[in-house]
Structure 1
Amino acid sequence: MAALTARDLMTPDVVTVPPDMPVQAVARLLADRGISAVPVLDREGTLLGIVTESDLLRRLAGEEDERRGWLAGLFADPSRAADRYARTHGTTAAEVMTTQLVTVPEDATAAHIAHLLEERRIRRVLVVREGRLRGIVSRADLLRALTAPPDRQEERLSDERIRRAILAAMRKEPWVDTFHLSVEVREGVVELHGFARDQATRRALRVLAETVPGVREVRDLTQPLPAYLYLMP
């Protein structure tokens, strides 16, 4: 998965709209194409923003906004209120679009993109090169990273290299007690021996081993950590 990049995952033929397209036409375009967002480009191809389903729903919901009283207006942020008014009453793509864009270069890894989607709580990122739109990577596109076949070079890794890689990964994690654990690898099959503190640790150890290149199977043969070992420093 780490080898896959935005260039591999992105949808390159992106449907775009001009900034002066009416909101109703944008909504119809999304419905007809079965897509959830469209980037907004000017005549020179410069990326200006993106109109998403959320932007359109926000505009629709804004039709029932109640007018604030004068007292509430004293404590409101005028800039935020003005921005919300424009986006909920705008009639063109430029007026309702999201301008705070999350973009990545074409060589951004799948892991980095997934981190951005999770951290920013968004559904897609725009792929750009020198300010020009090259494609879009959505959550659905990232699923391809999870189902991608493993690198064939991983199959040629020796058992000893796999074992060392697992031990190295374990030493980086504060929750792993390597003193009470041992790792054996035979033809890509990993066996975990020793003692694990609890069920969560056993599950995490399995996940850790499974992510190491070349691992074909993980067998958890660990046992619960004896009570007397809890008292050891």
Structure 2
Amino acid sequence: MDNATARSVMTSEVVVIPPDARILKIAALMRQHRISAVPVVDKGGALVGIVTEADLMRRLAVMAEKPPSWFASLFADPSEEADRFARSHGFVAEEIMTTELVTVSLETPVAEIAALLEQRHIRRVLVVKAGRLCGIVSRADLLRVLDEPRNDAADASDERIRLAVIAAMRREHWAYSPYTSISVEDGVVTFHGFSQDRAVQRGLRVLAGCIPGVKGVVDKTTLMPPEMLYQAL
């Protein structure tokens, strides 16, 4: 996963629609292909928007909405209200689609894509090159990367693994402690000594498990006594 990019994980065979595609057709395409979003491209092949399940749900939800009060309408932004009305009452893709697109390049690292999905609270990003759609990277695509077996450094020596764990601990301010030692035998990392609290114990187990070549993690640390914890702080 460390060297994976959008190019290597994206879905390249993407269902697309023209700006004049009608809502019923869009909904049918989503059901047929079991997808939750459809990019919109113009006649020249340029990406202009995307219609998601949320856009279609907005179209349905408006039926249950009550009109704003006369007083509230005095303070409403006419431009925003017009855009909202068009998107919730439109009949074709270009009227309801999302145009503020989140895109990445073919060489964007998978880690950056995952962070982007998390930060923007979205389910997918569009992969583009020179304004043209190349593919889509969804949360499901990233999960498939996590499922891939880790072959790198599978035969790493115990000493190499121990040094890698120590280096990883030094990079995390919460992890490194003179009261915690590490041993490695047959690829199994064992923590000895004391740790600050249970959150640190859990974090150390995860940290060691991320090191290539590690076959297991054993935690034999105990929580620091109050007097030792005070000295450590």
Shorter-normalised TM-score: what interval?
over 0.9
User: Counterpart of 1:65 in structure 2: which amino acid?
Assistant: E
Instruction: Name the counterpart of 1:114.
Output: 114
Instruction: Name the counterpart of 1:139.
Output: 139
Q: Per-residue displacement from partner, 1:129-188 (whole Å, max 9, x unpaired)?
A: 2221111111111111111111x3312433222222211211122222421111112232
- Residue 178 (str. 1) matches residue 168 (str. 2): no
8 A Cα contact 2:175 2:203, kept in partner: no
- 1:222 CA drift (Å): 0.9
In 2, Cα distance between equivalents of 1:148 and 1:130: 31
| TM-score normalised to structure 2 length | 0.94
8 A Cα contact 1:63 1:88, kept in partner: no
In 2, Cα distance between equivalents of 1:194 and 1:91: 66
Deviates more, 1:42-51 or 1:3-12: 3-12
Q: For this pair of structures, how many residues does the alignment match?
A: 232
- Residue 199 (str. 1) matches residue 198 (str. 2): yes
Instruction: Name the counterpart of 2:154.
Output: 155
Instruction: Name the counterpart of 1:86.
Output: 86
Map 1:1-233 → 2, pairs under 5 A: 1-150=1-150, 152-232=151-231, 233=233
8 A Cα contact 1:7 1:107, kept in partner: yes
Following TM superposition, the consecutive aligned residue runs of length 4 or more in structure 1 with deviations greater than 3 angstroms are none
In 1, Cα distance between equivalents of 2:161 and 2:102: 37
5+ long unaligned stretches in structure 2: none
User: Counterpart of 1:201 in structure 2: which amino acid?
Assistant: V
In 2, Cα distance between equivalents of 1:159 and 1:117: 36
In 2, Cα distance between equivalents of 1:66 and 1:228: 63
8 A Cα contact 2:39 2:50, kept in partner: yes
8 A Cα contact 1:7 1:106, kept in partner: yes
Q: Per-residue displacement from partner, 1:36-79 (whole Å, max 9, x unpaired)?
A: 11000001110001000100000111133322232101222323
Deviates more, 1:139-148 or 1:154-163: 154-163
Deviates more, 1:185-194 or 1:153-162: 153-162
Deviates more, 1:67-76 or 1:135-144: 67-76
5+ long unaligned stretches in structure 1: none
- Give the secondary structure class of the aligned counterpart of 1:16: coil
8 A Cα contact 1:15 1:38, kept in partner: yes
**Percent of paired sites with the same residue:** 53
RMSD: 1.5
